[in-house]
Every structure is written in structure tokens, then in C-alpha cells.
Amino acid sequence: MDRTPESYFDALYETDADLERVAECLREAGMRDISVAAGYGRLLTLLVSASGAVNALEIGALGGYSGICLARGLPAKGKLVSLELQSEYAELAKANLTAAGHGDKVEYLVGEAAANLRQLKESGASFDFFFIDADKENYPLYLEACLELANPGAIIAADNTLLRGKTIDPAKQGPSVQALRQFNLTIARDARLQGVHLPAYDGLALARVKAGAD
């Protein structure tokens, strides 16, 4: 049987009960399981831990899969702020993080992400780690907002940068595709960032915010 490199490596890891619970909850609720890929979830945990992040911001909670991965990398005193448009997703995510033992680390802000990002800036909030996995048309806006909220050296990660192959298909010119192309180019060329793109799964962008980037 043919296997992808991703499936080969995923199979090396034991089943994760907390993350399996998220997938099952999404199925039971009739929600699409578009959580971050398993390999990238593990990478998020590693990066949060290795970077020494204490405060993390997530844009897009869904069922809590990425939230669990982020929270696992935070220290006991760490804090995750999660922005989610739909209250039912935020409630599901909160329940899953609580079941995984991380409920005390996370705060959910429900509503339009752009508005919540402005409020966070006005409140003087700042973060060491960001994960973007929400509506693709607003990725460029979210990136700029993250830069405004970033501590020096903060890490920014963003999922689905290949958009199921659409970003590399010249025939695709929809608004989400064009926004992601702009976002990907910014990660690669913006002087405020040290960036890299990972092509596995559906693509992941990673960038480190340089000192003085704001």
C-alpha cells in the first residue's frame, strides 16, 4: 500500500487520547474536522516549549486541537488567548482543553477576530507565540495584527498556506488564494521577519519577529 511521508511519520506516534477526543467531538457535533495536521500539532508543542513562550495567541479555535497542542508547550504559569468567531466552537474547545488538563491556561474571546485583535492592542497585551488558523482572506490582516502584538523574538505560525494546492495553481485567483499568496510572500520577504515555509500536509508558515519589528 502506498503511503505518504506524512502518514508514515504519523504512524510512528502513539494514539493521543486528548486529540482523539477532539476529533470525536467534532464528528458528534456534525462539524468539519479541519484541525491542524497531527505532525504540525506536535511541531507547535515543540516550538512553544523550545521558544520559552509564556503568552500565546491563537486565531481560530475550532474544537480545541491546536489549543491543546499550544497549551502543552506552555509553562504552568503560561496563558493562551484563543479567538473564535463561533460560540459553539469556543465552548467545545474549552471543554476539550479542560478535559486535557489545560482549561486553566486558556481564555476564549468570541466574535470577529479583527475586533478582538484591536481590543487586545488597546489593552496593551503582548504575546510570545501566535498561531493563525482561521478565515484565509484575512491572513494578511492577522499577520499585521500579530506583529503589533508581538514581543521581540516572538514566533508566528500559520496553517493551510497551500490551501489544498490552490496557492500554487495559476488558474486559481479567488480572494482567499490571493490573500494567502500575499501572506506567503510577506513571510518570505518582509524585513521584520525571519521566515520559512514548510510544504508538508497543507503547508505551514513559520516566522520569527525580529527585534524592533514594530
Q: Based on the structure, what is the number of domains in the chain?
A: 1
Q: Nine-digit cell at 103? A: 482549561
Render pLDDT for 150-185 as a digit per residue (tens, 0 to 9): 999 999 999 999 999 999 999 999 999 999 999 999
60: in domain: yes
Q: Hey, what long-range contacts does 2-8 have (CB within 8 A, 24 or more apart)?
A: 5/200, 6/37, 6/39, 6/200, 6/201
Is 82 inside a domain boundary? yes
* pLDDT tens for each residue of 94-136: 999 999 999 999 999 999 999 999 999 999 999 999 999 999 9
Let me know if residue 214 belongs to a domain. Answer: no
Task: Indicate whether 23 belongs to any domain.
Answer: yes
Residue 80 lies in a domain: yes
Q: Which residues pair with 198 in a beta bridge?
A: 204
Instruction: Report the CATH number that the domain containing residue 141 is assigned in CATH.
Output: 3.40.50.150
Express each pLDDT in 48-103 by its tens digit: 999 999 999 999 998 899 999 999 999 999 999 999 999 999 999 999 999 999 99
Is residue 166 within 8 Å of residue 125, measured between CB atoms? no
Domain ranges, residue 131: 5-209
